[in-house]
């Protein structure tokens, strides 16, 4: 529960909604997780936890949707952010009230040591002006861990070798400035302030559409 309380306390102190991915990244920096970057094909893990033992965005979506529909029958999913640390996977599902797009609900699902915590927070939907597309993870060909594997093969493993204390985050959203209106997986690896790698992936074909390294 301590992870969820940190998220809510941070957002309340700011008085506005902050991207969930940024909050997760800040948590990673404080944890300073160590990533091991050998190939998974050789049965070595790129990070201490084994994602096969954890639930993906597609697995957890029904739980998040249940929370959202209890809040509003017209709730629709705007975007998802998943962060991976040494022993924990953080998931944030952001829903919009279709009848009143200015209101929203964040559903937080944290899986740690194979135990799940769920909490939610009603928020002012400051991003509704971007007109994001409603997302249904069940209708996508690829799940979050599929996108992660593609990103690792597209430069992520090499980045982690050079930046072993990086945080990892997986997002599913449609409001990217360079390609608005298209739902994409985005996987980024960040070792702030020393480097960052962003990889954008088509959710159905698995094609890597863009790679940005800073």
Is 49 inside any structural domain?
yes
Mean pLDDT on 59-83: 94
DSSP SS3 for 120: strand
Q: How many domains does the chain have?
A: 1
Q: What is the pLDDT of residues 14-26, one digit of tens each?
A: 444 444 444 443 3
Distance CA 30, CA 41 (A): 30
More confident residue, 19 or 65: 65
Q: Which residues constitute the domain of residue 46?
A: 2-178+199-213
Closest CA to 170 of 182, 152, 192, 191: 152
**Distance between CA atoms of residues 32 and 177, nearest Å:** 30
187 domain-assigned: no
87-136 confidence digits (pLDDT tens):
788 999 999 888 887 889 999 999 887 789 999 999 886 655 555 678 88
**Token pair for 50:** 């084994």
Both structure tokens of 46: 């790129």
Give residue 21's pLDDT. 45
Domain contains 190: no
How high is the pLDDT of residue 39?
34
Confidence class for position 196, pLDDT limits 50, 70, 90: very high
């Amino acid at each position: 529960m301590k992870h969820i309380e940190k998220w809510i306390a941070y957002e309340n102190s700011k008085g506005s909604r902050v991207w969930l991915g940024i909050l997760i990244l800040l948590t990673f920096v404080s944890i300073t997780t160590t990533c091991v970057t050998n190939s998974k094909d050789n049965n070595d893990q790129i990070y201490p936890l084994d994602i096969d033992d954890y639930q993906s965005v597609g697995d957890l979506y029904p739980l998040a949707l249940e929370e959202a529909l209890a809040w509003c029958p017209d709730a629709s999913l705007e975007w998802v952010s998943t962060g991976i640390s040494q022993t924990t996977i953080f998931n944030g599902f952001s829903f919009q009230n279709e009848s009143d797009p200015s209101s929203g609900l964040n559903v937080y699902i944290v899986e740690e040591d194979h135990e799940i915590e769920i909490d939610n927070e009603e928020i002012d939907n400051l991003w509704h002006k971007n007109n994001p597309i409603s997302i249904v993870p069940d209708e996508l060909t690829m799940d979050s861990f599929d996108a992660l594997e593609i990103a690792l093969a597209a430069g992520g493993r090499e980045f982690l070798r050079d930046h072993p204390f990086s945080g990892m985050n997986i997002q599913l959203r449609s409001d990217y400035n360079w390609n608005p209106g298209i739902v994409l997986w985005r996987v980024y690896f960040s070792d702030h302030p020393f480097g960052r790698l962003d990889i954008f992936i088509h959710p159905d074909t698995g094609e890597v559409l863009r790679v940005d390294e800073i």
